[in-house]
């Protein structure tokens, strides 16, 4: 994996903390809209983490595959990810 591991670690730990907070909100019978807003915030962090991983994949793995003349497999992987992200 070629993404910035410290940045990803920070993002994912933040998301984990938010999920723990959401679970506590549910236990405490907090207002539904407050819970929904926290879920949206957590999703945003996870999307940002995924974007970091994908950018690194394009910048390093795809570039290496292009340089070696074997880009088709990496392009197929990216197409698959785009399909899953846009469902």
Cα angle 13, 19, 25 (rounded to 5 degrees) comes to: 140
Q: What is the pTM of this model?
A: 0.85
Whole-angstrom Cα distance, residue 38 to residue 33? 9
- CATH code of 13's domain: 1.20.58.1000
pLDDT digits (tens, 9 = 90+) for 9-27: 999 999 999 999 999 999 9
Provide the number of structural domains found in the chain: 1
Provide the domain limits for residue 29.
5-85
Mean of the pLDDT values across residues 57-84? Answer: 92
Cα distances (Å, whole numbers) of residue 2 to 9, 48, 53, 57: 13, 16, 8, 7
pLDDT tens sequence across 27-59: 999 999 999 999 999 999 999 999 999 999 999
């Amino acid at each position: 994996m070629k993404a910035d591991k410290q940045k990803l670690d920070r993002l994912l730990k933040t998301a984990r903390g938010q999920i723990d907070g959401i679970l506590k909100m549910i236990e405490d019978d907090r207002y539904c809209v407050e819970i929904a807003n926290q879920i949206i915030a957590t999703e945003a962090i996870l999307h940002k983490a995924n974007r970091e991983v994908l950018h690194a994949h394009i910048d390093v793995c795809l570039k290496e595959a292009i340089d070696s003349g074997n880009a088709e497999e990496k392009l197929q992987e990216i197409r698959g990810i785009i399909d899953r992200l846009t469902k």
